[in-house]
Amino acid sequence: MVEHVLVADFREKDSLLVKLLVKLGVEPVFANLSVGDYLVSNTVAIERKTPADLVSSILDGRFSDQLERLKQAYPHNVLLVTGGLSEALSRAPNPGIVYSRLALACLSGTSIVVLDSDLEAAQFVRWLVKESKKSWEGFEPMIKRKPKNQSPSEQVFNVLTAIPSVGAKRAEKLMRAFPNLLAVLQAPEEKLASLVGSTAAKHIKRVAYTQISHAEKHTKLTDYIHEND
C-alpha cells in the first residue's frame, strides 16, 4: 500500500534510493523535472548528489546554478548528499573547495543533509514527506513550470541552461558569441569547447544530434492522489 505521494525525476527511476523508498511504502510518481530530483510538496524540493557528482558539479560550475534555480522555484530546498562527505573530499583537488561551496549554499538558504547510505537517505526522504504532508495546502501546482510570457532570449537561455554542464555563465557566454540557438547547436565542438569547456561542448553536441523519441505518457499527480486516497 502506498503511504505517501512523492514526485521523482525520470532519471532517478532505476536508482537504489527509489527502490528503497518503494519498500518503505513511498512510491514516487515520475515526471521530467526541470529543477530538482525529488518534489516533496509544492514548496519543498530535493537535489540529490553522490560524492562523485557533488565534486564534479562544483568543478564544472553546475552546482551553484542548480541550487540557484532550485531556490527560485521552491521556497524550501534540500541538498541531499548520499554516500558521505569523506569520499567527496578525497575526490576534490582541494577539500576547501567542497567546504566553501557547501557553506555558501547553506548561507543562501539551502538545507544540507549528508548521509552515509541510500537506506539512510530513503528513511530521511520518507520522514520529510511525512512531516511536510502536515502542512500541505494542495498539490497544484506542484511541479513548477517556466513562465509562458518569457522573451525569446529568455527562452534560449532556459534551453541552454537545461543542458548538463551549461550553467548560467556559460549560457550567457554562448549567447554573446552566437547570433541564435541554431548557430550554437551547429557550431563545431572545438569552437564550443574554446568557449565553455570540452565537457559542456560534448553535451551540447549530444543534444543537437539526439534522436527524438515518443515521450512516455505520464500520470497526472492529481489523478494519482485521487486513486490513492
pLDDT in tens, 174-223: 999 999 999 999 999 999 999 999 888 998 998 888 877 654 444 444 44
| Alpha carbon separation from 46 to 9, 129, 152, 156, 214 (Å, rounded) | 10, 11, 29, 26, 28
- Give how many domains the chain has, as a whole number: 2
Q: What CATH number is associated with residue 180?
A: 1.10.150.20
Residues 137 and 162 in one domain: no
Residues 124 and 177 in one domain: no
pLDDT in tens, 51-103: 999 999 998 888 888 888 888 888 888 999 998 889 889 888 889 999 999 99
Q: Which of 101, 118, 144 is the last residue of a domain?
A: 144
| Alpha carbon separation from 132 to 29, 30, 44, 103, 216 (Å, rounded) | 17, 19, 8, 25, 29
DSSP-derived secondary structure for 115-179: ESSHHHHHHHHHHHHHHHHTT----TT-S----TT--HHHHHHHHHHTSTT--HHHHHHHHHHSS
Q: Which of 111, 144, 177 is the last residue of a domain?
A: 144
If pLDDT is split at 50, 70 and 90, which confidence band does 137 have? very low
